[in-house]
Structure 1
């Protein structure tokens, strides 16, 4: 009888030990997969969609759970909404945060809160005011990218013998950091190439369309009618301005007379090439940005040494080469996502 009791007790002890080990392994497995927050300005269009896809794939490859947060372009309280996403990430003790801050001042304090909580933050597309609050910035230097577009626009006008006239600017949001830098860069680059003739050009009041092509079309049509000497327009990125500007130029019969310089590749440009509604663009490699953001954040989470900035250059593409350029980008994208 004593042997049976001892045997039973031994069985119970072994079962308890095994159960304890199993519970410990389960808990470890749950903690193995850390969470990263990825907060872009939007998630649609030829610029943001590849970036999102690259981030998702790289996070999965590195073993992270990626929480994706954004809001539509028409969101009225967009800054507040995205600051709320930052607060959520901090409250949930995320392993790391990647965010495209729309205002360098508004997001600065909240990014510092993440830093104080021990959560590394990588900014992309735009930066916060205090660089020491984030661990790194990934993306285009928007002022330099704007300068490149401004220089190319000025070179094109000079080639056409144009040394005076009105110039329009169209953007989704004129106060967004990336847009203010691009505007400043475009004007600086344009003036540097034009030299003394720069004083002969007048920059009209910039148009904001909140990514609504009907709005940019309406406002630009008004400017074209009021300024018959308009010679160029710069659209600073996203589908709304891209489409709205081309439609306005076409509706006013100004194709080939008002030269259009755009920002970022999108298949939308192909609709205006034959009719002379787009002259050339500078393009960012958004897929590379998305992948690099996650790679840098991974290193930061692991405590590895990283640089303060990871610049991604832009490329100038003339209208006649946009179709082939788009095909090459698609091939590259397909190869990278396999």
Structure 2
């Protein structure tokens, strides 16, 4: 779940006057009642629905009130800003937040800090901000290295491969590309990365890029795609060209999972959005209760393919 930053929106934020906040009671600050506001990058997609399920499960088990919000699309920074403001007015015990634009949202996060409302970041976190006391996220470099290891095994550690990357500017895109590259360099000198193309999470563009790479490299042995749209696009390009390149992906949307079942994609690394949501709420509650927490908490990932897709751990992690 990744976006290009949109800096121009920073000037358009409407800040909630702190004087107005002083008249509001902290909903989670009195007695044993605690509330955690979760504001994600999105709301409707299967990924965020699974994050929501994990966050709400944590709230139920830990007996803390959890609200979950996010914009309908992961480009709607103004809507996410509005949701931040609404949460601030209600004064939760803690905020769990995945920023669409950390530059545009830094000022309002400072207001949370000024009101002594702790912030826990999740997913891609809040890059460049020291306000979050902890970040719960996938270790994208390690997950991409896992994908590299499996692709290397499929290719006998030799051959030409390409990378179809969802973003050149987002931290997740950079980490997944670099994690893959670094593992190949250190462990599979017989594999050569011949090209990398960036598609800004546009599946049609990703398919065009994959097709061009295949056309330019008739002996291409493999493709690593850094998100589910890219994996589906790469598989379709391979099928259309009648090529034999092995495709390894990232994430676990239903189209990609169906292509893994059919054999068009060899396998993929899935994040664990359920645990991401659960651990983010759990971490926020620990902070509220005065417990110490790690600065970074890895929410985990799994390699899955046709042989283990039905395993219980995989089924909880994937998002269809």
Q: TM-score by structure 1 length?
A: 0.73
Change (3 A) 1:151 1:224: same
Does the 8 Å contact 1:155/1:193 carry over to 2? no
Matched, 1:71 2:57: no
1:271 to 258, 279, 284: 258
Does the 8 Å contact 1:100/1:125 carry over to 2? yes
- Secondary structure, in 3 states, of the residue corresponding to 1:205? strand
1:61-110 Cα shifts (integer Å, max 9, x gaps):
4231414223314x3xx445434433432343232111123455555554
Q: What does residue range 1-338 of structure 1 map to in structure 2 within 5 Å?
A: 33-61=33-61, 62-73=63-74, 75=75, 78-102=76-100, 105-130=103-128, 132-159=130-157, 162-163=158-159, 165-171=160-166, 173-195=167-189, 197=190, 200-210=192-202, 213-238=203-228, 240-254=229-243, 257-273=244-260, 275-317=262-304, 319-325=305-311, 329-330=314-315
Change (3 A) 1:259 1:105: farther
Structure with the higher helix share, 1 or 2? 1
Separation of aligned partners in 2, 1:37 and 1:223:
44
Shift, 1:55, TM fit: 0.8
Change (3 A) 1:30 1:147: closer
Separation of aligned partners in 2, 1:284 and 1:292:
13
Which has more radius of gyration? 1
Does the 8 Å contact 1:166/1:201 carry over to 2? yes
1:258-293 Cα shifts (integer Å, max 9, x gaps):
111111334433422365321122222221111111
- Secondary structure, in 3 states, of the residue corresponding to 1:321? coil
Separation of aligned partners in 1, 2:27 and 2:53:
29
Q: TM-score by structure 2 length?
A: 0.77
Does the 8 Å contact 2:225/2:250 carry over to 1? yes
Separation of aligned partners in 2, 1:217 and 1:157:
22
Q: Which structure 1 segments of 5+ residues have no match?
A: 1-26, 334-338
Does the 8 Å contact 2:50/2:274 carry over to 1? yes
Change (3 A) 1:107 1:249: farther
Separation of aligned partners in 1, 2:147 and 2:107:
33
Separation of aligned partners in 1, 2:68 and 2:302:
31
